[in-house]
Amino acid sequence: MAVKLRIPKKDRLTRFFVHPVGRTVLALFVLLVTGSLLTFTYYTAKYSRLIDAKLRSGTFQNTAMIFAAPQVVSVGDLMSAKEVIEQLRRSGYTESRSNLLGWYHERQDAVEIFPGPDSYFDQEGGVVYFAGGSVSRLVSTRDNTERTQYLLEPELLTNLFDKNREKRRLVKFADLPKVMVQAVVSAEDKRFFQHSGFDPFRVIKSAYVDLRERRIAEGASTLSMQLAGMVWLNRSERTWRRKAAEVLITLQIEQKLTKEQIFEYYANQIDLGRRGSFAIRGFGEGAQAYFGKDVRDLTVAEAATLAGLIHSPSYTNPIRRPERARARRNVVLALMRENGYITKQQEVEAAVLPLTVAKTGAESADAPYFVDVVNDELQDEFQNHDFQSRSYRVYTTLDMDLQRDASEAVRIGMKEVDDQIRQQRRFRKQKPPEAQLALVAMDPQTGEVKALVGGRNYGVSQLNHILAKRQPGSSFKPFVYAAALSTALDENRSPITSLTTLVDEPTTFMFDGNPYTPANFKDEYHGTVTLRQAIARSMNIPTVKLAEMIGYDKVVALARSAGMNLNIQPTPAVALGAYEVTPIEIAGAYTVLANQGIYAKPNCVKLIRDDKGNIVHSYTPLHRQVLDPRVAYLMVDLLQEVVRSGTAAGVRARGFTLPAGGKTGTSHDGWFAGFTSRLICIVWVGFDDNQELNLEGSRSALPIWTEFMKRAHKHRQYRNVSEFEPPDGIAIARVDPATGALAATGCPGAQLQAFIAGTQPLEVCRLHGGILASNTQVTDWESDAQGAGAMVAGTDGSKSGAGRAGRARNEREADNSAQPAAKDTQPAPKKGWFRRFLNVFK
């Protein structure tokens, strides 16, 4: 029997590795290990450099930050310390003195404000004192002197200038409340402060759950791994190579950063869904966007809500899916209780609370269409500056109070428009399309855009209707009348005044051998009318006749000088607003009327600083004289008549009583363009496919305009609306509307009207008994005529003339409120009791 010899293991291994096959296996193993080590070393070094470069340049993308205009606080303003602090917090101020933007300190009777090196202002700090619910004193902290006003830091609109439209409000780890940190680690990584980047217990549990469910049911990523993926890797990629890179980066950041630093970066980078048109990044912006408060003031329930958004921000968005957000919040509260951060009682109390989302974070405050206009302006005018990779600070003209007013006016007004459209016969058997709108409000002196709404819902449509070309209709007519009234400056031709008469009747106009036959609204005609009556009632035929009389080219020249579409052509149709313009062009053009003939180009960007604080751009208003100031005042006078007794009388009926002028417009769409001495506002309403709106401007755009202006002029800086003062060379005369002569004491319905000095009527009315009057009465008429002629602003080189003209204008308001309307607008009632009845409503 043969005996087997047992070869020792050591000898067998030796014989194997001596064998050629063994030597090959050994060589391959050595190569594999060496290659792995080299690969690991290469990628470790690569990601180490990548991490170091990112940390040196800033973890978050350096892009331009876009701010609204600063808010002015003045002595006497009705506001509390709480309101000032809320505004400071929205602007990024905190109570921490290390905050680069600025910090504040609340006292019993005051708020101390200290701008930081990153502040908008090169100004001293201030102390705002309060008493009786208003600002009682303003004191400079630099020299302890009294001030009459103080500028609060502008509010951030967006800090990213790209298609992602992300908003972020950076916070330090020390600024985060404990409940916020506890909620996050409970929901995402409860052993974050104990492990070294990887949680072995979580990995084992995740693998077990995935095997049991036979799918990827639970993740094992720690906060460090999530941060590595968010900051240094492509978030959309899902491959093993990305996972390997995530592991290597996690190892690196755990070595280079403390746990507090990792959590701070995570807290500023995490995706928390969308509010309005913006993506919300980080807990600082999340607290402001969803709850309207500083992150340090979050309650347990609010912190749990934000932590709950991390897992699936779109699925649990508290704006669109509040029930899901509330359910996820309660899951996080239960985890916080399990981890010992809150008691059972605290969990129960927080879980029963309703999910309340702040209104201040809505899209209206984000002003997405305005941001797009700023974006375009920066790209067009500052092409040599890289706003996407450097931390420029772009300070705009947007007034946040007016922007919120505009959004609310649009919401209310478009509901009224929708109701009227649904009642139209053409839509009784089908769902009507949704009407769109545009609203822009501007400072008439500077051209600064104060509020802008370019559509109903930015999330649904990013088409900015402020920049869309549409026919302005009758809102263009003031430029026809302005060109006509300018003839009074030409000594070689007979002047056209507000008393010039035209025949309103069906008319065919010939131009270049082609007929043009416009019609009045509802085919109503009024016979012989004055310019004042024609513009007040927006009559088409007299307007085209007027343009023909002076030359269509003069109308076009004026429109182009006022910043409107250069493609406007000198044809009869130009008089009726047939050539397309944009709402913002109309807004700019109306500055000519509201600003004494001076055009102020619309602008949105006021100041730009680079990442070192240097001023790159400071806007100087672009002005040019387009109209003679006297002609501009005559147009203001006529447009006030439109609001007083014409197609825009609905402004008064809806409760807006401040001195204002305006003009309705109806083409395919509805328009209203109007102004006070403080604000110009243009509103357009129409369909995107340019089909007929079938609503006049007085029923579509005017209600939105009125709602906005009523709200806007309640704010202190717009509240002080003055009368439009006449410039030098304006004569105010009392005129008999029936004859166009100077009114005698017996003329019914006499009106005060404005003229360029020397073009006012000189003869006294003889229709109402003037030629049969006694000598005493003739003397009275002569005195009356002389008085009217004496009311010429500035003709004697003094200011007394303007004062008399202003008083005369006030008398005209009183006269018009007591007299019946002109015959072409409203027949005078014959019965005395009926007249008194109607006067109640006037």
Q: Please, are residues 610 and 645 in contact by the beta-carbon 8 Å criterion?
A: no
Identify the pLDDT of residue 484: 97
pLDDT for the residue numbered 515:
95
Average model confidence (pLDDT) for the chain? 82
DSSP string, 286-315: HHHHHHSS-GGG--HHHHHHHHHHTT-TTT
Q: Which residue has the higher pLDDT, 255 or 153?
A: 153
Residues for the chain: how many in total? 842
With beta carbons less than 8 A apart as the criterion, state whether 79 and 136 touch.
no
Q: What is the percent of the chain with per-residue pLDDT over 70, rounded to a whole number?
A: 78
Q: Which residues contact 483 (CB under 8 A, 6 or more apart)?
A: 547, 550, 554, 555, 557, 558
Q: Indicate the range of 5-19, 294-308, 828-842 predicted with least confidence.
A: 828-842
Largest CA distance in the chain: 168
Nearest to 122, CA basis, from 716, 607, 620: 607
Mean pLDDT of 255-263: 86
Q: Tens of pLDDT along 477-529? A: 999 999 999 999 988 889 999 999 999 999 999 999 999 999 998 899 999 99
DSSP 521-537: GGG---EEEEHHHHHHT
Could you tell me if 674 and 708 are in contact, meaning their C-beta atoms sit under 8 angstroms apart? no
Residue 503 vs residue 815, higher pLDDT: 503
pLDDT classification of 390: cutoffs 50, 70, 90: confident
Q: Where is average pLDDT lowest: 242-256, 291-305, 596-610, 731-745?
A: 242-256
Residue 304 and residue 336 in contact, taking contact as beta carbons nearer than 8 Å: yes
585, 564 in Cβ contact below 8 A? Answer: yes
What pLDDT shows up at residue 781? 30
Write out pLDDT tens, residues 185-209.
Answer: 999 888 888 887 776 666 566 555 5
Q: What is the mean pLDDT of residues 78-82?
A: 90
Check residue 744 and give its pLDDT: 86
In the chain, pLDDT over 90 holds for what percent of residues? 49
Looking at residue 251, its pLDDT comes to: 76
Q: So what's the pLDDT on residue 739? A: 87
Q: How far apart are CA 651 and CA 420, in angstroms?
A: 18
pLDDT tens by residue, 688-711 = 998 999 999 999 999 999 999 999
Of 119-133, 578-592, 637-651, 670-684, give the lowest mean pLDDT range.
119-133
The more confidently predicted of residues 674 and 522 is 674
Q: Check residues 800 and 428 and name the one with the higher pLDDT.
A: 428
Asked whether residue 353 carries a pLDDT value surpassing 80, the answer given is yes
**Which pLDDT score, from 0 to 100, does residue 163 have?**
55
- Tokens for 413, please give them: 């007004």
> What local confidence, expressed as pLDDT, does residue 595 receive?
96
Is there a contact between 693 and 668 (Cβ–Cβ < 8 Å)?
A: yes
Q: For 125, left (φ over 0), alpha (ψ -120 to 50), or beta?
A: beta
Of the spans 30-39, 131-140, 186-195, which averages the highest pLDDT? 131-140
Confidence class for position 787, pLDDT limits 50, 70, 90: very low
What distance in Å separates the CA atoms of residue 662 and residue 78, rounded to the nearest whole number?
A: 31
In this structure, of 5-9, 28-32, 301-305, 756-760, the range with the lowest mean pLDDT score is 5-9
pTM: 0.75
Long-range CB pairs of 526-530, under 8 A, 24+ apart, other chains included: 526/824, 527/503, 527/824, 528/501, 528/502, 528/503, 528/504, 529/501, 529/502, 529/503, 529/504, 529/824, 530/498, 530/499, 530/500, 530/501, 530/502, 530/737, 530/740
Instruction: Give, in order, the Cα–Cα distances in Å from 239 to each of 188, 299, 310.
Output: 22, 39, 22
CA distance 372 to 29: 59
pLDDT band at 122 (very low <50, low <70, confident <90, very high): low
Residue 141 pLDDT level (bands cut at 50, 70, 90): confident
Owner of token pair 């929708």: 418
pLDDT of residue 202: 63
The tens digit of pLDDT for each residue in 86-108 reads: 888 878 888 888 777 889 999 99
Report the pLDDT averaged over residues 135-150: 90
- In tens, the pLDDT along 725-777 reads 999 999 999 998 888 899 988 888 888 999 999 999 988 888 875 542 222 22
For residue 718, what are the CA distances in angstroms to 28, 410, 497, 510, 523? Answer: 82, 20, 32, 47, 40
Under DSSP, is residue 616 helix (H, G, I), strand (E, B) or coil? strand
